[in-house]
Amino acid sequence: MEKIKYTVKIKRYNPEEDRSYWQDFEVEVEDSLTVLELLMHIKDKMDSTLTFRAFCRSAICGSCAMVINNRAGLACKIQAKDKIKRGVIKIEPLKTLKPVRDLVVDQEPAFDKLKKIKPYLEADPKIVPDNTKVESLVLPEEFARYDKQTDCILCMACYGQCNAIEGNPEYSGPFQLTKVFRFVMDTRDGMDIQERIKLAEDNGIWDCVQCQMCFAACPKGIASCEDILELRRVAKDTGEDNVATRRAKFWFETVFATGQIDKFNLPAVALNDEKGEEIRNNLAKEFTQRGISQEHFVPQPFENIKDFQKFIKKVEKEL
């Protein structure tokens, strides 16, 4: 059995003194440990006060999310030796939640946000039978639309990495919005789609900055960022008219017409108000000052644009 030596740098939090500090542990351990086993080793052999949550140790209960080398993930799923960088592994509590003690954070606020989006099926009486003699029928391809999303273990790794929360603490969070998506897609759900979408909107779909960090953090490979785009699409398709849906429509239209998004007119169209007009006027002024010719204000269709348009039509229909 091979043993290796390295430093484990842990950001601890002492609640009695309300103080965060880094502590180094020098370990010499087998090279086959998970980060969780490494922490258990430290707790068992070096410092029994080191505090962290863990339960299943098999990446299914969602207890052990923490930040390992600046990235949130599950301690029990990650091999320690892959994380040694220049002799050091750095471990911290999830960043967008308050520490309770050492690596344990207060998850209640994130759970409260989950509760707010009504994270449950409201059975649709048209699909879900009112007796237990039969089940509702769901075709495999219908289930496939939200199958992945039901893998979520509420570990909050995504939440701990979410930039939208950095900018707006009220933002609901990636896994919460994935949950909305999951129910929007479930054919058995009877809650009015507008209500589901309103829940998504009130809880932040327009605040997401599409940074992809939720996807990068998720131990289950769930891309909340993409679910959020899908929710935006559903919002648009169910008649929502706002700056974002106007932007989305205009974006597609101009890309279809020229191959590129028309950024000159976009603010005016999307904002659809005086401010938008003002931005356009200012842009025009700036362009003129910089000697940009009028025809360069907006993208021009490239050669054989018709072929491109046929292509897009076909992609929409056939892919």
Partner 1 sequence: MKKIGIYPGCCFQGADEHNYDIIVAFLDNMGLGNVLLDRAACCGGGVIDETNKKIVYGLNARNIALAEKEGVDLYTPCNTCYMIIAKTKLALDSDPELKDAVNKILADEGLEYKGEAKIYHTLNLIRDFVGLDEYKKRIKRQISGVKIAPYYGCHVLAPNEVAVDDPEDPTILREILEPLGVEIIEGYQNETTCCGYHAGFTSPGQKERLAIKPLEGAKEAGADIVATPCPLCHKAMDGYEEPILQVTQLINVACGMTPEETHIHINKTEVKLSL
Partner 2 sequence: MKIDVLIVGAGGAGLYAALSAVKENKDLNIAVLSKVYPTRSHTGAAQGGINGALANVDPTDNEELHTFDTIKGSDYLADQEAVKYMCYEAPKIIREMEHMGVPFSRLNNGKIAQRPFGGASKDRTCYSADKMGHVMLHTLFEQCIKEGVTFLNEWFMLNLVHNGKRLVGVTAINIATGEVELIKTKAVILATGGHSRIYWGYTSNALGCTGDGTAAILRAGLPVKDMEFLQFHPTGLRKSAILVTEAARGEGGHLLNNKGERFMAKYAPDKMELGPRDLVSRSIMTEIRENRGFRDEEGREYVQLDLTHLGAEKIKKRLPQIRELAIDFEGIDPIKEPIPIKPTAHYAMGGIDTNVKCETPMEGIYAAGESQCVSVHGANRLGGNSLLDIVVFGNVAGKEAVRYAEGTDFAKGGEGKKEEEVKFIKELMNKESKETLGDMRNELGEIMFKHFGVFKNEDEMQEGYNKLKNLIERAHKNLGVEDKSKVFNLDLQSTLEFFNLLEIADVLAYASLQRKESRGTFFRDDYEKRDDENFLYHSVITRNSDGSFNYKKGEVQLGLYEPAERKY
The entry of ligand FES, partner 1, ligand SF4, none near residue 76 (CB within 5 to 8 angstroms by kind) is ligand FES
Quote the crossing angle between the two packed helices 224-237 and 174-185, to the nearest 10°: 50
CB of 273 to ligand SF4, least distance (A): 26
Distance CA(74)–CA(174), nearest Å, equals 16
Q: Which of 20, 23, 32, 210 binds partner 2 (CB under 8 A)?
A: 32
Give 34's strand partners. 79
> What number of other Cβ atoms are within 10 A of residue 77's Cβ?
19
Tell me: does residue 280 bind partner 1 (CB under 8 A). no
How many other CB atoms are there within 10 angstroms of residue 159's CB atom?
A: 30
User: Number of residues in contact with partner 1, rule: CB under 8 A?
Assistant: 68
- Write out the residues near ligand FES by the rule CB under 6 A: 54-57, 59-64, 74, 76
Q: Which of 24, 31, 82, 147 binds partner 2 (CB under 8 A)?
A: 147
Nearest distance in Å: CB 34, ligand FES: 9
| Least distance to partner 1, CB of residue 236, Å | 6
270 scored as a contact of partner 1 (CB under 8 A): yes
CA 247 to chain centre: 21
Among 58, 167, 198, 273, binds partner 1 (CB under 8 A): 167
Q: Does residue 207 interact with partner 1 by CB under 8 A?
A: yes
User: Binding of partner 2 at residue 55 (CB under 8 A)?
Assistant: yes
Quick check: 123 binds partner 1 (CB under 8 A)?
no
First-to-final CA distance of the chain: 51
Write the binding mask 149 to 188 for partner 2: x where contact by CB under 8 A, - elsewhere: -xxxxx-------------------------------x-x
Least distance in Å: CB of 47 to partner 2? 9
Name which of 169 and 291 has its Cβ closer to ligand SF4: 169
Using CB under 8 A, list all residues that contact partner 1.
Answer: 68-71, 83, 85, 163-164, 166-168, 206-213, 215-216, 223, 226, 229-230, 232-233, 236, 243-245, 247-249, 251-252, 255, 259-261, 263-264, 266-267, 270-271, 283, 286-287, 290, 292, 296-299, 302-304, 307-308, 310-312, 314-316, 318-319
Using CB under 8 A, list all residues that contact partner 2.
Answer: 1, 15-16, 32, 34, 40, 43-45, 48-49, 51-63, 77, 79, 100-101, 104, 107, 111, 114-115, 118-123, 128-129, 132-140, 143, 146-147, 150-154, 186, 188-189
Using CB under 6 A, list all residues that contact ligand SF4.
Answer: 152-158, 161-164, 174-175, 178, 208-214, 217-220, 222, 224-225, 228
